[in-house]
Amino acid sequence: MRIHIQNPPGEDLFAVTPQQWHDAVARAGAIGAGHTVTFGNDDAAFAAAMGETEALLAQPPNIAGRFPCHAPALSLIFCLAAGVEKLAPFERLPEGVIVVNNRGVHGAKTGEFAAMALLMLNSHFPELAAAQREAAWRPIFAPTLRGKRVTVIGAGDLGGAAARQARHFGAHVTGVRTRAVAHPDFDEMVAVEALDRVLPGGEFLVLACPLTAATRNLMDRRRLGMLPRGAGLVNIGRGALWDQEALCDLLESGHLGGAVVDVFAPEPLPAGHRMWATRNLMITPHISADSPVTYNPDSLDIVFRNLAAWREGRSMPNQVDLARGY
Amino acid sequence: MRIHIQNPPGEDLFAVTPQQWHDAVARAGAIGAGHTVTFGNDDAAFAAAMGETEALLAQPPNIAGRFPCHAPALSLIFCLAAGVEKLAPFERLPEGVIVVNNRGVHGAKTGEFAAMALLMLNSHFPELAAAQREAAWRPIFAPTLRGKRVTVIGAGDLGGAAARQARHFGAHVTGVRTRAVAHPDFDEMVAVEALDRVLPGGEFLVLACPLTAATRNLMDRRRLGMLPRGAGLVNIGRGALWDQEALCDLLESGHLGGAVVDVFAPEPLPAGHRMWATRNLMITPHISADSPVTYNPDSLDIVFRNLAAWREGRSMPNQVDLARGY
């Protein structure tokens, strides 16, 4: 198969290296053999490759805006990301092309981030950090997470990992997903239609769902206001899942207790944006899900696992449903 | 038995209330019955009670400096704390008095704090927080804790809880204690004489031991310098366990990667102290171990458990060895 890997422009920690490809081929067995692979990280390399490429591997930002283009042989796009919203609208992609994501590689790192964020919020860490900046000794004694109620929106790789860690610390975790199908990592699961009913009961809210037409601005000002006073929020999904201005207003007013936020609209968050300095809001720059050590190896293993399914006519475990957007 | 509870002066979240005492008596069964209890929080109440008090309950700061005094009936001092160093020198206490601490009540909360601190250090959170203060988008991508090496000094309630959480995230945990006796929460245990040998191998160091004559300044400048470049440190023991100035120097120079510090010498940390503003040092004001919801109930249960052992002539599980200091 003719495979092209479009890497980020310039030096990048997450560029797929020929060595990583070679190692993944060695791990893959039969399905790894016999491919012709090209690497590129600029417009010329992309254009040169697409005349014959049958499978394209790339992080979505590296190929966003490149379609429609002359790609007569392209059958498969392997997105080296879980969220594929940057490829939308999907009508611009070649007809019949199959989009595959890498869901499954983010769980371990995301679980750690979610655990850290929940423990920080439960400890009032944002307030303690503010006290440190003032050189002020202002103890706040907090009970443990045990028995606290956490709502997690999204029950995929990220949401499941967050729920697992919250339950490790004894929290009671309610999941919110498209349909109320039970999930082993959650104490209970409700359909998104029941979101308004569960929001007031959760002392912590974790956003861990994909950004789609259905989830954009899901946590709007009205819903953020339904959270109980002092609630802590974590966003490891996408910035456009909530109303950032309303979030800031509710943190400044003290209605919300704190937030640990890893994703923003837009990214990078502009220097003048009010979120940088909003009270009790702690910012991390979209680092919650990606380990530089395991990201590409794990992603390439998923590529070959899906390629094997495709060759054998089985359903691909990571195929994106373009109608749903994830 | 005549029991006196010397509470902190003024309003205090951790004052033992008559209701908490009443509830603990109800839980305790036979050993809870028939006691006469007095409460006080000032000099007069202490002096008035000590003429007849047989058992004294107090946090060490509330009774530090009050001995020697007229306390002819005093047999037992129940310290509502794990560390009793504030009562030293112990020669000032009435001869033959038994000191009991509340080790065991801090584990759950301390485990959460240790998990949070290790995850923050592993994520380079101190650097990310500094970037936020500059409104600068500076991503740092870090691998997970899995396989990282953590050294924990102290294998009691605190050290065990820290080790357990580190191992939950897949870290390899080496314990350091007086004798190299195996412990189920540690991958390996070495005696304190081997400290110099293990320090260079640990990417993270957690101080979780009591402050005694043997541990004071245990992590001096020389030993802090033996940690590998970029190491992360957590102190949930006591500030005098390490050389605070050397810590600051090594953080400022970049040799040490970051520190999350909950305990200081002195406390409260004075407003002008350099630690408040040391690079990559995150300060919490001695809040790592105490949950206001469970602290007194759990402590009082320990009091009655030990009292039962004492009445029956068994060894008391929480008796402090005054020669060792813990």
Q: How distant is the Cα of B143 from the closest Cα of chain A, in angstroms?
A: 4
Q: With an 8 Å Cβ cutoff, are B135 and A276 in contact? A: yes
Amino acid at A185: D
- Put simply, the answer to whether A129 touches B131 (Cβ < 8 Å) is no
Whether A172 and A204 have beta carbons less than 8 Å apart is answered as no
Reported as type and span, the H/E element at residue A283 is strand A281-283
Q: Determine which of B141, B145, B290 to mutate to test the interface with A (most A C-beta atoms within 10 Å).
A: B141
DSSP per-residue codes, A125-183: HHHHHHHHHTT---------STT-EEEEE--SHHHHHHHHHHHHTT-EEEEEESS----
What pLDDT does residue A10 have?
86
Q: Does B169 touch chain A (CB under 8 A)?
A: yes
Rounded Cα distance, B194 and B182, in Å: 15
Question: 3-state class of A302 per DSSP?
Answer: helix
Q: Which of helix, strand or coil describes residue A102?
A: coil
Closest residue in B to A169 (Cα–Cα): B112
CA distance A112 to B145: 8
State pLDDT tens for residues B168-201.
999 999 999 999 999 999 999 999 999 999 999 9
Do the Cβ atoms of A141 and B112 come within 8 Å? no
CATH 2.60.40.420 fits B107-283, yes or no: no
The minimum CA-CA distance between A165 and chain B, rounded to whole Å, is 10
Residue A224: partners with Cβ closer than 8 Å, 6 or more residues away: A242, A243, A246, A247, A250, A256
**How many angstroms separate the first and last alpha carbons of chain A?**
26
Locate the domains of chain A by residue range: 2-105+291-311, 107-283
Using a CB-CB cut-off of 8 Å, the residues of chain A touching B120 are 116, 120
Which of A110, A132, A145, A293 should one mutate to test binding to chain B, selecting the residue with the greatest count of B CBs within 10 A? A132
Q: Hey, is the C-beta of A12 within 8 angstroms of any chain B C-beta?
A: no
**Are A137 and B14 inside 8 Å of each other by CB?**
no
Closest chain A C-alpha to B268 CA, distance in angstroms: 6
Hey, is the C-beta of A61 within 8 angstroms of any chain B C-beta? no
The verdict on A284 touching B (C-beta cutoff 8 Å) is yes
Tokens linked to A326: 């994830």
Domain at A2-105+291-311: CATH architecture: 3-Layer(aba) Sandwich (3.40)
- A267 interfaces chain B, CB cutoff of 8 Å: yes
Find the residue in A nearest to B136 (Cα). Answer: A271
Of B128, B146, B290, the CB nearest to A284: B128
| Dihedral angle of Cα B36, B41, B44, B50, to the nearest 10 degrees | 40
The reported pLDDT for the residue numbered B68 is 95
Q: Do B168 and A168 touch (CB under 8 A)?
A: yes
**Any CB–CB contact under 8 A between B285 and chain A?**
yes
| CB contacts, 8 Å: B293 with chain A | 143
Per-residue pLDDT of chain B (326 residues; tens, 9 = 90+): 999 999 999 888 899 999 999 999 999 999 999 999 999 999 999 999 999 999 999 999 999 999 999 999 999 999 999 999 999 999 999 999 999 999 999 999 999 999 999 999 999 999 999 999 999 999 999 999 999 999 999 999 999 999 999 999 999 999 999 999 999 999 999 999 999 999 999 999 999 999 999 999 999 999 999 999 999 999 999 999 999 999 999 999 999 999 999 999 999 999 999 999 999 999 999 999 999 999 999 999 999 999 999 999 999 999 999 999 99
Bond from prior residue into A297 cis (ω within 30 degrees of 0): no
B61 inside 8 A of chain A by CB: no
Residues in B touching A116 (Cβ below 8 Å): 115-116, 119-120, 123, 125
Size of interface A-B (CB pairs under 8 A): 129
Set of chain B residues whose Cβ sits within 8 Å of the Cβ of A141: 13-14, 287, 290-292
Mean pLDDT in runs of 10 for chain A (326 residues)? 96 93 97 97 96 97 94 97 93 95 95 98 98 98 97 97 98 97 97 98 98 97 98 98 98 98 98 98 97 95 97 96 92
Q: Which residue of B has its CA nearest to A281?
A: B132
Pick from B116, B137, B271: which is nearest to A268 by CB? B137
CB A210 within 8 A of CB A158: no
Cβ within 8 Å, pair B135-A285: no
Domains A2-105+291-311 and A107-283 share a fold: yes
Whether A132 and B276 lie within 8 Å, measured CB to CB: yes
Contact across the interface for B139 and A285, Cβ inside 8 Å: yes
CB-CB neighbors (< 8 A) of A268 in chain B = 137
If you write DSSP's letter for every residue of A2-54 in order, what string do you get? EEEEEPPSSS-TTPPPHHHHHHHHHHHGGGGTT-EEEEE-SHHHHHHHHTT-S
Report yes or no: B109 at the A interface, CB cutoff 8 Å.
yes
- Flag whether residue B283 sits within 8 Å of chain A, measured between CB atoms: yes
